[in-house]
Every structure is written in structure tokens, then in C-alpha cells.
Amino acid sequence: MKLLRHGPKGQEKPALLHSDGTVRDLSPLLADIGPAQLSPAGLAALASVDPATLAVVPQGRLAVPWAGLGKFIAIGLNYADHAAEAGMAAPAEPVVFTKAASCAVGCEHPVVLPQGSVKSDWEVELGVVIGSRARCVSEADALRHVAGYCTINDLSEREYQLERGGSWDKGKGCDTFGPIGPWLVTADEVGDPQNLAMWLDVNGVRKQTGNTRTMIFTVAQIVSYLSRFMTLEPGDVITTGTPPGVGMGRKPAPEFLRAGDVITLGIEKLGDQRQTVFAWDPALIDA
């Protein structure tokens, strides 16, 4: 299934994308798509519904595909060629940081540059959405705790991340720096998460081309690893690293986002995103 939430801010309605390309209304069946609907039982109940029996509705503004996003956990340097372009060694264990949950927005939401930003960057990444509690789970069992997958743009302010001391978090959790969607695609529909093509363009120019098969740590390894250090709960999301081609690593000189830029990106089976970049404007953050 491809699950989505759409409509005006604060009035989002649950829906699914039917195989015929139409958006089908789930609101008569449930108030929203949240952690309970991401559980194995919740997804099974949704899968039992015949989409042809649901009303066709026009797609509204796309929101984060599920409500109740808890932790927004990120893995850094998870593609060896990206680590090389960043001038860093490939890690022996996953590099873990967090993005503020408040940075999460829909896949077409404006990207608003932080005040004074001069080094904001793009990163297409595979998102992993947790559907059932995972605590100290084995690698063999890890994928059983995954509800589905999504496309994420892990936007990053590199000066804040790397030049201001402390952890990476301050450059990763800026408002609007976590576009998610357009859909949450359930794990059964995705199949193998380690063979998904991914790409990102800025102003129509290809910047990133990659495939999840070149990840250093697989989704199963990441979920198992994280579950040793924290309990993963339904609605948590993990963004799993980016292939090469980010602005920081461009040659002969780095390239960073400016107001007016248009970012388009996508992952095979998971859908595409499009964002326009704006200078600091608090009103746009809450659009």
C-alpha cells in the first residue's frame, strides 16, 4: 500500500494511492494514519480494504504521510563514496545523530533557509518507518519491525553541522529540513530495501545518482544496531544516509542552496519530491 495524508494544515485526511493512480479516501474508516495504523494489525486491517470501494478524492496539499512521528533518527556516512567525498573515513559502526521532529514537512513544502545560512545542502535518503516496538532485536528479526519506507531529503546546514562545535544535530534539525513522502509505502510492496535506485536534481541538473545496495550498513543492520541503544517505537523514522553528489563535496568547488533553487528527488517505488528554496521567512515555515 501507498499511504498518504493530504489537505490543509491541521485538517489533513488519510488516504491511499490506488494502483490506478487515483487517491482514495480513508477518512470514513479512520481518523488519521498514526502509530496504531502502522502496527502489523493496523496494516493488516487496511490491507483488507478493497480500494475500489473507497471514494476517489482530489489530492490536496501533501503532509508527512503519517501523524505522530516520534524520533527522527539519522545515519551519517553510510555510503563509502559519500564518506570519501566528505573527506572522512568509512565508519566501523553506524554514525548516529538526530533530526528534530519539528523539521519534518511534506514532500512539496517550501524549504526555508535558516537565518544567515550560506552552506545549506541536499541529501536524498531512504527513510525507514517503524511499525512495532524494537528493543535489542537481532538483525534477522529487524525488518519485522518495519512498517514501510519513504523518500526523505535530509537537508543539512554544513556550517552549523561541522564548523560550530559539538554534535551534527544543530545543522540537521532546522525547520523544513526534513521533507518526507509523498507516501509511506508498506514493506510488503517495497520488497528488498537494498536494491532501490535514487536520484536528486537541483534546478534540473543531476547532482546525485545512487542505489541503496551500496549502503555500508543495511536497513536490517541499522534497525538492530539502533535498538541496542534506544527503544524504537511505532511512528519513529530512520533516515539511512546519502550517496555521493552532495553540495559540500562538489568539484572543483562546493555548491550550496540559494533562494529560488528547485530541488527534485526520488527513490524507486517510493515516489518523488519537489521543493522550492526560500530565504528566511517564518510565515513560510508554517505554511
* Number of structural domains in the chain: 2
Calculate the alpha carbon distances from 255 to 170, 195, 252 in Å: 20, 28, 9
Q: Is residue 264 part of a domain?
A: yes
- The answer to whether position 41 is within a domain reads yes
For residue 16, name the pLDDT band (cuts at 50, 70, 90).
very high
Sign, Cα dihedral of 244, 160, 101, 73: positive
pTM: 0.97
Do 79 and 29 belong together in one domain?
Answer: no
166: pLDDT strictly greater than 80: no
CB atoms within 10 A of CB 237: 28
102 and 241 inside one domain? yes
- Domain assignment present for residue 83? The answer is yes
pLDDT digits (tens, 9 = 90+) for 172-199: 999 999 999 999 999 999 999 999 999 9
Whole-number pLDDT of residue 88: 78
CATH for 110: 3.90.850.10
Indicate if 117 and 181 belong to the same structural domain.
yes
Contact (CB, 8 A) for 165 and 139: no
Position 242, amino acid: T
Q: Is 169 left (phi over 0), alpha (psi -120 to 50) or beta?
A: alpha
User: Is there a single domain that holds both residue 26 and residue 121?
Assistant: no
Cell of 133: 516496538
* Closest CA relative to residue 61, chosen from 99, 124, 123, 12: 12
264 beta partners? 201, 274
Question: What single-letter DSSP state applies at residue 84?
Answer: H
Single out the residue of 239, 26, 6 nearest to residue 128, CA to CA. Answer: 239
Alpha helices (H) in the chain, listed in sequence order: 35-38, 40-47, 80-85, 158-162, 187-190, 219-229, 282-285
User: Cβ distance 223 to 238 under 8 Å?
Assistant: yes
Residues 10 and 87 in one domain: no
| pLDDT in the model for residue 168 | 85
In the chain, helix, strand, coil percent, each to 5? 20, 30, 50
- Identify whether 148 is part of a domain: yes
- In this structure, the answer to whether residues 12 and 133 fall within a common structural domain is no
Residue 63 lies in a domain: no
Structural domain span for residue 204: 72-285
Reading the block at residue 236, the C-alpha cell is 519513529
- 248 and 197 assigned to the same domain: yes
Q: Where are the alpha helices (DSSP H) in 170-236?
A: 187-190, 219-229
Instruction: Based on the fold, state whether residues 174 and 238 are members of the same structural domain.
Output: yes
| pLDDT tens sequence across 122-159 | 999 999 999 999 999 999 999 999 999 999 999 999 99
The C-alpha atoms of residue 236 and residue 61 are separated, in whole angstroms, by 23
Which three cell numbers, joined as nine digits, stand for 132? 512495532
Using the predicted structure, report yes or no on whether residue 83 has a pLDDT greater than 90.
Answer: no
20/150 Cα distance (integer angstroms): 20
Q: Flag whether pLDDT at 117 surpasses 80.
A: yes
Residue 59 falls inside a structural domain: no
Are residues 185 and 101 part of one domain? yes
Cα–Cα distance for residue pair 148/193, rounded to 1 Å: 10
Residue 35 is assigned to a structural domain of this protein? yes
One domain for residues 42 and 161: no
Question: Does residue 268 share a domain with residue 132?
Answer: yes
Residues in the chain: 287
Q: Phi and psi for 270 in degrees, rounded to 5?
A: -110, -10
Residues with Cβ within 8 Å of residue 41, at least 6 apart in sequence: none
Q: Is 60 contained in some domain?
A: no
Residues 48 and 79 in one domain: no
Please, are residues 278 and 112 in contact by the beta-carbon 8 Å criterion? yes
